[in-house]
């Protein structure tokens, strides 16, 4: 990733000051009289943007009572539902290591090749409540609990490798802003409203995550087709105590795929549980979802040469700079037995790591290490939530923790302290086997400061935007226009466009044109020079889609008199290629050609084409003529065509296409052309899009 224009910014000096306008100090509107912010005890708050650190790039200090009070209150605001990631779907499975990292770590889970270790994975939306739907535009949670021999290891990430804020101090503000507005209680599970965009428009550091949230990554086709990222840099420690930085990646075996925005909206009405159902049914029929587990490994020397700070959670490391090495796989092969007991009660925490893994000084990660445990104390009733079966380690464990609310164990003996000499089997610390932290020197001066190396907020989102192909860029621009069209405050819309001009001048102009702005607002002065980096081709979804029918779903519309021999030719060939097939008809049973009674998988009005990746139709002319007057049938094809799906339409079906105003293109073929249809069904018909919708 060569720098074309401006040389990389130098790393922060020890006594770095907070750059103005870099997200460390928001750009507030002038005017008004604001009371001094205080803690709940009335103590004036000097800085509400930065946690107290030992140095600009050092760890967050536990003595930061302002941070602890703020996050503690936030963690306990709502019970028992999760404040974020409330709506989740999950499954059991296993992790298998395929390549040892014994050179870099002592962690057995990363050194014992071929070992299968049980795990539990939960996917979730962020903004909505537990009763919201699966398919809104939102970042998705991607959390994995691995029950290792050395204790539970939680890799708690998202389907985006970056986050909206650099410091945990701002997490309550971010979530307050994106949640439904407190005076009116809406919108639910959406970011298209004033408070979210007001917040991010005042936090330039949010621009990169905003780009991911507005991209097709935020409307995935399936949970089985999402990437997962650990987000932060962690450390691996070997037997010598030597440290190597690491970032964690999950890559779906099925490849990535997303929905079209109009399709995502209609899926909310068609099936509130679309993603949950898709995951459950895939596992139920034996199509076990699988992800490759990859790592980016890099030294301190390599980190120092990057043109950005890897400790900044709003930055990713392009794999063209540091490749992703595949070292294992995750397979999900069993559905939960009980949604509440497992999916809802599972408690993840990024502080749950095993010997041989350690934390970095990422300031967002440092705050998360406290926040998750604090939240779980409230959600799950007290300090013994680890005894709930889904949370309990599967390896031996022993300590002197006793009593407390919901204590389910019956400890024996008189010793509940250490050191002791009264019992030979009393647990004791073990310096040899115990967890070790990396011995990092820190000679900085503590203070509420943000490193100057965190100040560049536009180069990375610019790189991300330029890594997308033209179709994806148009989708992103249109998504921002849609979101801002729901924002009623003009100066907020203008401020977002001002940021987008820094990301890419053309993008800013396209958004302004889409909103009908009479005048383009001036770009906001960046806190650090904006750099032009080489695009990262690996970040595009469309350019990296797999040429496969694995995981895809095909719907075939039939009615009385349909030729089941023709239907079965498509069905058998599609299933052989790895797709799932459902028959759809006006009723749940038909009399096929020859008089045979055929059971149907889905009734037409309740099984729209939005739930399929491609559709086919084999109808007698007289039945097609009836359906051409049926709105559900016309919409079935109109939506499939508008959502760029391959269509196999018999001669009779042409009547329905005409009723829907559909002019067939290269993505519409005869059902007899089974091979051609299934080849088209592997992807969307992107060439069709300019003919069916206007994008920015």
Instruction: Quickly tell me which residue has 């094809």 as its tokens.
Output: 637
CA distances in angstroms from 582 to 264, 267, 613, listed in the order given: 20, 17, 11
Which of the 8 DSSP states describes residue 677?
H
Q: Which among 463, 442, 416, 18 is positioned nearest to 212, based on CA atoms?
A: 463
Q: Is the preceding omega at residue 419 within 30 degrees of 0, hence cis?
A: yes
Distance CA 227, CA 249 (A): 7
| 176 part of the active site | no
Q: What letters, b where the CB count within 10 A reaches 16 and e where it falls short, cover 210-234?
A: bbbbbbbbbbbbbbbbbbbbbbbbb
How would you classify the pairing of strands 668-669 and 357-359? unpaired
Q: Which among 185, 292, 304, 294 is positioned nearest to 249, based on CA atoms?
A: 294
**DSSP code string of 152-203:** EEEEEEESSS--S-SSGGGHHHHHHHHSPBTTTTB-SS---SHHHHHHHHT-
Helices 171-178 and 363-379 cross at an angle (nearest 10°) of 70
Q: What letters, b where the CB count within 10 A reaches 16 and e where it falls short, cover 400-419?
A: eeeeeeeeeeeeeeebeeee
CA distances in angstroms from 251 to 223, 501, 600, listed in the order given: 12, 32, 35
Paired tokens of 229: 């990222």
| CA atoms lying within 13 Å on the CB side of residue 478 | 14
Q: Which residue is catalytic, options 22, 50, 152, 158? A: 158
Distance CA 313, CA 404 (A): 36
**DSSP code string of 528-591:** S----BPP-GGG-SGGG--S--TT-EEEEE--TT--HHHHHHHHHHHHHTT-EEEEEESSSEEE
Distance CA 368, CA 349 (A): 8
**DSSP code string of 75-125:** HTSS-SS-SSS-SEEEEEEEEEE-S--TTT---GGGT-TT-EEEEEEEEEE
| 430 part of the active site | no
Q: Which residue is catalytic, options 85, 92, 208, 249? A: 85
Distance CA 649, CA 644 (A): 15
Helices 470-485 and 261-270 cross at an angle (nearest 10°) of 60
Which residues are part of the catalytic machinery? 85, 158
């Amino acid at each position: 990733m060569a720098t074309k224009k401006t040389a990389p910014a130098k790393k922060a000096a020890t006594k770095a000051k907070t750059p103005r306008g870099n997200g460390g100090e928001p750009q507030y509107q002038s005017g008004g009289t604001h009371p001094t912010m205080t803690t709940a005890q009335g103590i004036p708050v000097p800085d509400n943007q930065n946690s107290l650190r030992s140095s600009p790039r050092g760890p967050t200090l536990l003595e930061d009572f302002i941070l602890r009070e703020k996050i503690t209150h936030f963690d306990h605001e709502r019970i028992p539902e999760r404040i974020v990631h409330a709506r989740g779907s999950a499954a059991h499975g296993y992790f298998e290591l395929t390549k040892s990292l014994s050179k870099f770590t002592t962690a057995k889970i990363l050194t014992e090749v071929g070992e299968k270790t049980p795990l539990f994975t939960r996917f979730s939306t962020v903004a909505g409540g537990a009763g919201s739907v699966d398919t809104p535009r939102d970042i998705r949670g991607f959390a994995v609990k691995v029950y290792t021999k050395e204790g539970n290891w939680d890799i708690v990430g998202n389907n985006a490798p970056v986050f909206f804020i650099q410091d945990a101090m701002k997490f309550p503000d971010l979530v307050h802003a994106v949640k439904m507005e407190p005076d009116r209680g809406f919108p639910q599970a959406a970011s298209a409203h004033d408070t979210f965009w007001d917040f991010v428009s005042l936090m330039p550091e949010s621009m990169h995550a905003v780009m991911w949230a507005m991209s097709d990554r935020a409307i995935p086709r399936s949970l089985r087709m999402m990437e997962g990222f650990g987000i932060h840099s962690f450390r691996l420690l070997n037997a010598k105590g030597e440290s190597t930085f690491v970032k964690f990646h999950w890559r779906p075996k099925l490849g990535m795929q997303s929905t079209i925005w109009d399709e995502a909206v209609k899926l909310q009405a068609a099936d509130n549980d679309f993603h949950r159902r898709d995951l459950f049914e895939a596992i139920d029929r034996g199509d076990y979802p699988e992800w490759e587990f990859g790592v980016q490994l890099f030294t301190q020397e390599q980190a120092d040469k990057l043109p950005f700070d890897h400790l900044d959670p709003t930055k990713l490391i392009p794999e063209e700079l540091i490749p992703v090495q595949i070292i294992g796989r995750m397979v999900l092969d069993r559905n939960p037995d009980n949604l509440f007991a497992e999916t809802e009660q599972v408690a993840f925490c990024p502080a749950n790591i095993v010997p041989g893994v350690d934390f970095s000084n990422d300031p967002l990660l440092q705050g998360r290490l406290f926040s998750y445990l604090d939240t779980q104390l409230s959600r799950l009733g007290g300090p013994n939530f680890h005894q709930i079966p889904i949370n309990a380690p599967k390896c031996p464990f022993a300590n002197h923790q006793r009593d407390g609310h919901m204590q389910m164990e019956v400890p024996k003996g008189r010793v509940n302290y250490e050191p002791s000499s009264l019992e030979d089997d009393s647990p004791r610390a073990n310096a040899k086997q115990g967890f070790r932290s990396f011995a990092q020197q820190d000679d900085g001066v503590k203070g509420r400061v943000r490193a100057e190396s965190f100040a560049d907020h536009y180069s990375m989102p610019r790189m991300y935007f330029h890594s997308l192909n033209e179709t994806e860029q148009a989708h992103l621009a249109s998504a921002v226009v849609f979101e801002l069209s729901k924002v009623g405050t003009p100066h907020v819309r203008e401020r977002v466009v001002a940021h987008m001009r820094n990301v890419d001048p053309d993008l800013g102009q396209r958004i302004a044109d889409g909103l009908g702005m009479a005048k383009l607002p001036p770009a906001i002065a960046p806190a650090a020079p904006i750099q032009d980096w080489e695009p990262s081709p690996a970040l595009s979804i469309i350019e990296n889609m797999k040429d496969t029918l694995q995981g895809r779903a095909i719907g075939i519309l039939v009615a009385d008199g349909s030729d089941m021999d023709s239907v079965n030719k498509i069905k058998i060939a599609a299933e052989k290629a790895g797709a799932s097939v459902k028959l759809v008809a006006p009723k749940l049973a038909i009399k096929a050609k020859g008089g045979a009674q055929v059971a149907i998988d889905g009734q037409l009005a309740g099984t729209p084409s939005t739930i399929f990746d491609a559709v086919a139709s084999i109808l007698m002319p007289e039945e097609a003529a009836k359906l051409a007057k049926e709105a559900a049938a016309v919409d079935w094809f109109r939506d499939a065509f508008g959502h760029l799906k391959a269509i196999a339409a018999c001669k009779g079906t042409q009547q329905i296409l005409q009723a829907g105003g559909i002019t067939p293109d290269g993505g519409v073929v005869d059902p007899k052309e089974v091979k051609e249809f299934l080849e088209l069904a592997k992807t969307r018909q992107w060439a069709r899009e300019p003919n069916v919708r206007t994008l920015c």
